[in-house]
Structure 1
Amino acid sequence: MSGETLSQALAAFVHELRFADLPAAVRDKARLCVLHQLGMALAGHELPGASIAAELILADGGAAQATVLHGGWRSSAMNAAFANAVLFHGRVQDDTHHTAHLGTVLIAAGLALAEARRSSGEAFMTALVAGYEVAGALSREFTALTTPRGFRATALYGVLGAAAVSARLLGLDRERTAHALGIAATLAGGTIEPFAAGSEEFVLHNGQAARNGILAASLAARGLGAAVSALDGQAGFLRAFAGSTEGGERMLAGLGTCFEILNVNFKALPVCAGNQTPLLNARQLAAQLGATADIVAIDIDMHPFEARHPGIAYCGPFRNRVQTLMSTPFSVALGLLGRAVDMPALHAFDDPAVLRLVACARVHEAPDLAMLQSRIRVRLADGRELAASFYPQADQLRFSWAKEVTLLHGMRAEMPLDAAALDELIAEVGQLEQLTDLSSLVRRTSICRLRQCCHEQ
């Protein structure tokens, strides 16, 4: 690091990154991340957390800088980022980097601040990539240490990524960017206990991370300083949350070459990231079983990190969607029954067919499996046993543009816009770097405006 601290080295990368430095694959992935997140926001607009956050911001007021997408009203960039991140995370069908949902935070912060400053699409994309790289490098090296200690990766690394996005859009120099990262480090926090308890406050992690990233960069822009050792100091961020700074050198080694945004996955289904492949595996196994199979036992093998995550092994009773979307037995039951995995299915807390399968399902730690791999063994009443393994290929989790478009059109019934309007949004995101500002993109995603248009039609 040539004598630089982690925050100084990261700041240098963020400050020096240029749009021309971004490979075509990185630009493509940045557009895809934006499209996916905006689509999930539209499809999740009726979930209660989004309206609660939007109404709170309306009551709070604030300078009319950026749009609260759910309500259509304008507030400060920080307030809009908070509300929009909660909206983005409502379906939990967002992008994932290990266990961090970075797009919900970085895109919310970047969109709000870019709208407020009338930044170009090119500037917005460059800032996003910088944020994904900072948060992604931290996530890659330290999630395995911080999550078992009870800290949520989105809350920890998202705020640092949002600070990087905001520092770029505010035009901070290297020194001020390092201060922004240092301030963000002291604003980080959030636990994974909500997943164990089946409670809803986890969406606030995303909102707070987006808001605090803008706050950190704004304070640095106004002259507030932070410890240059905020990340790797003896009492700094990494030792506090991860218990170690080992991995810092590796974190920096690939900056600007590996581009962590390329390692971001997308969820095809509105359940926990750890449940995506067990559910797909269960669907695969259901084709072998047939509709009349009498299942008496289900054993689900997962990587130990995933199997130990709060909420994963939960077998009921189910009282809310947080419990069902986190429960691997519930997800596998839906898959074995061939059920649609949508909001009604996740709210069917008393479905007897699902509950019967959940009752005979158990989750096991399998050290031989990698993350996102699964193995399911089913025993039938007649003594037969069947098994299926699922080892996803990268392209199954890292969508192409065409696959994302198909996904969004398949969800359009849950969105407040028609097919033509969705296609217009897709086309605009497709030329994101050519936009002189993001006002049109925001209008196309403003749920209040879209509802009015649908009513007028």
Structure 2
Amino acid sequence: MDVTTQLIKHVLNSSFETIPEKAIERAKLSILDTIACAIGGSNDPIAHFARRLGALSGGKPESTVWISGEKLPSSLAVLVNATVARALDFDDTYEICINGCHASAYDVPPALALAERDPSITGSELLSAVATAIDLHVRLARSVTTNAIDTGRDNMVAVWGATAVSTKLLRLEEDKTRNAFGIAYSHAAGEFQMYEEGAHTVALQQGLRARSGLESALSAMVGFNGPREPFFGKYGFYKAFEPDYDLDMLMDSLGSDYLNASISFKPWPSCRATHHGIDGLLQLRERHNFIGEDIVSIELGLNQRARSVVAQPRDRKWNPNDPVVARFSLPYVVSVAAERGSVAIGDFRAEALDDPAVRQIMAATMVEIDPEIDRTHGRDGNSPTTVKVKLKSGEQYFIRVDTPFGHPESPASLDDGMRKLKACAEMSMLPFSEKQLGLIGEFIADLDKRPSLAPLFELVVGGK
């Protein structure tokens, strides 16, 4: 059996009964986390742009735009919801590979849009589709062995995760599923320039690929065909774009080890590569009971690859004048953590970026390449980070963080997801009551027992 057929059969044949319990539970957290991030990001300018874009076309009212409550055709609702879920760069991510990927916020929005479009889809069916799609998405991402920092090709595989969740919930048979994967190849895209410039397309590209995955599945459903060998054909993805791939990373333990269980939860709304530094600074701050005004200097050490994303170019990362740039600025977020004891959504509002106390700490913060980390983890996009703090008292404290909270080795729970949901709701465009938030959490916690998803779509609309 060829590899593409194996992948398609994996998508078709996985079921709630065959997926490990750990993967099912992590799929619940992915759904809760994606909704939380969309609620938290709903008042960001990117979210407003996304809703305006969705409203331009209108059409059949199939699926809910979360928070605001408009009804749009499913593919447009997916575009808006996936973009808004990434607006803050707060959504979970797979970090145990060179490039990583934000699979949940690509794959959860089309899953929920289709479950609203078709009320016969059960909670257990949704969970199996989400776990399977994220597993495939991560496998494709980790099979790529070249770094996007070097090639400029970022996460081109994302469209196939959204395609997988869509074909599964549309209940397409094998031939149409194969066509959908072939059609999705024509939508595959991803570039790194958006990170270089801190552009809105960091979020919008997620919405575009999520919509493309759903539309690829719908195109196959109505009869379009696509290339039969989108991955390994003469001009398939791996030959045309990523010839240096690792087949074992794609296929190892397919069907038994669901990699969605290994994605990382984000406790802070910034690039995951900054979380090691935040975690380390906060540990030292709590352990040694100092505050921002006590600090003389902060020295951070990490590998070259991560440094190039979160500490270069220097003029922008030490003077972030835009929320997107600030989320990818290691000196900024560590200085916020030093001054305020946390990093929150409000710390990236335009008015917060000029806080004199944070700016003073940032000016005394250095980010250097740690030779040992670069030698042992030089290929990692999210690098272990050393944190050294010097105080006015003359004391110095040091820590190295390899696996910050949220990493698969330090995993989050649904309770952590609920705390994040409540924190995100404080920044929502429309208010959510404590009761409403609790009902969202309860619904998702028992998702495997839900005969329909219909009640959830009322709960994710604010202002009631």
Q: TM-score, length-normalised on structure 1?
A: 0.90
* Native 8 Å contact 1:100 1:139 kept in 2: yes
Distance 1:169 1:400 in 2: 26
Q: Return the alpha-carbon distance in structure 2 between the equivalents of residues 349 and 39 of structure 1.
A: 23
Tell me if structure 1 keeps the 8 A contact 2:138–2:260: yes
SS in 1 for 2:157: helix
The alpha-carbon deviation at position 337 of structure 1 amounts to 2.3
1:144 CA drift (Å): 4.7
Q: Could you tell me how far apart the structure 2 residues matched to 1:355 and 1:189 are? A: 37
Partner of 1:320: 322
Q: Distance in 1 between matches of 2:455 and 2:189?
A: 34
Secondary structure at the aligned position of 2:301 is classed as strand
Q: Deviations over 1:236-285 (max 9, x none)?
A: 212333342x3124311221111011111110011111111211111223
Q: CA deviation at 1:383?
A: 7.0
Amino acid at match of 2:33: H
Instruction: Report the Cα distance in structure 2 between the residues aligned to 1:65 and 1:293, rounded to whole angstroms.
Output: 53
CA contact (8 A) 1:192 1:310 kept: no
The offset of 1:143, in angstroms, is 6.2
Question: For 2:17, what is the secondary structure of its paired residue?
Answer: helix
Distance 1:329 1:241 in 2: 34
State the partner residue of 2:366: 362
Distance 1:380 1:406 in 2: 32
Output the CA distance in 2 between the equivalents of 1:322 and 1:330.
Answer: 12
232-241 or 290-299, larger mean C-alpha shift: 290-299
Match of 1:63 in 2: 60
Q: 2: distance between equivalents of 1:278 and 1:108? A: 31
Counterpart of 1:257, as a letter, is S
Matched, 1:275 2:286: no
1:376 counterpart = 2:387: yes
Deviation at 1:40, TM superposition (A): 1.8
1:319-338 → structure 2 map (5 Å cutoff):
319-338=321-340
Opposite residue 364 of structure 2, the aligned amino acid is: C
Whole-angstrom CA distance in 2 between matches of 1:337 and 1:204: 32
The 10-residue stretch of structure 1 (435-444 or 141-150) with the greater mean CA deviation from structure 2 = 141-150
Contact residue 309 and residue 328 of structure 2 kept, 8 A: no
Matched to 2:447, the amino acid is L
Given that residues 92 and 102 in structure 2 are in contact (C-alpha distance below 8 angstroms), is that contact kept between their aligned partners in structure 1? yes
What's 1:148 paired with? 150
Q: State the 1:411 CA deviation.
A: 4.2
CA–CA separation in structure 2 for the residues paired with 1:353 and 1:362: 16
Once structures 1 and 2 are overlaid, which stretch shifts more, 102-111 or 352-361? 352-361
What is the Cα deviation at residue 297 of structure 1? 4.4
Classify 1:299/1:124 alpha carbon distance in 2 versus 1 (closer, same or farther; 3 Å).
same
Q: How many residues align?
A: 443
In 2, Cα distance between equivalents of 1:181 and 1:145: 24
In the alignment, what sits opposite 1:29? Answer: 26
Q: Secondary structure of the residue that 2:233 maps to in structure 1?
A: coil
In structure 1, runs of 5+ residues without a counterpart are none
Q: Is the 8 A contact 1:63 1:76 kept in 2?
A: yes
- Give identity over the alignment, percent: 23
Matched to 2:305, the amino acid is F
Counterpart AA for 1:319: N
2:85 equivalent to 1:83: no
After TM superposition, give the deviation of residue 327 of structure 1 in Å: 0.4
Q: What is the CA distance between 1:221 and its match in structure 2? A: 1.8
TM-score by length of 2: 0.88
1:49 equivalent in structure 2:
46
Aligned counterparts of 2:62 and 2:417: Cα–Cα separation in 1: 31
SS state of the match for residue 354, structure 2? Answer: coil
Mark the CA change 1:251 to 1:218 in structure 2 (over 3 Å): closer, same or farther.
Answer: same
- Summarize the Cα distance change of 1:50–1:109 in structure 2 as closer, same or farther, 3 Å threshold: same
Is 2:397 aligned against 1:386? yes
Q: Post-superposition shift, 1:312?
A: 5.7
Is the 1:333–1:354 contact (alpha carbons within 8 Å) kept by the matching residues of 2? yes
Q: How does 1:149-298 map to 2 (within 5 A)?
A: 149-153=151-155, 156-244=156-244, 246-287=245-286, 288=288, 290-291=290-291, 295=295, 297-298=297-298
Distance in 2, matches of 1:185 and 1:292, equals 50
The yes-or-no answer on 1:93 pairing with 2:94 is no
1:121 corresponds to which residue? Answer: 123
> Once superposed, what is the RMSD of the aligned Cα atoms?
2.4
Structure 1 distance, partners of 2:196, 2:318, is: 12
Stretches of structure 2 that go unaligned for 5 or more consecutive residues are none
Matched-pair contact (CA < 8 Å) for 1:64–1:75: yes
Change in Cα spacing, 1:360 to 1:144, as seen in structure 2 (3 Å) is farther
Cα distance in 2 between the residues matched to 1:211 and 1:408: 24
Shift of 1:164: 0.4
- Given that 1:307 and 1:313 are in contact with CA atoms closer than 8 Å, whether structure 2 keeps it comes out as no
Q: Which moved more, 1:337-346 or 1:426-435?
A: 337-346
Structure 1 stretch displaced more, 234-243 or 192-201: 234-243
Q: Aligned AA for 2:36?
A: G
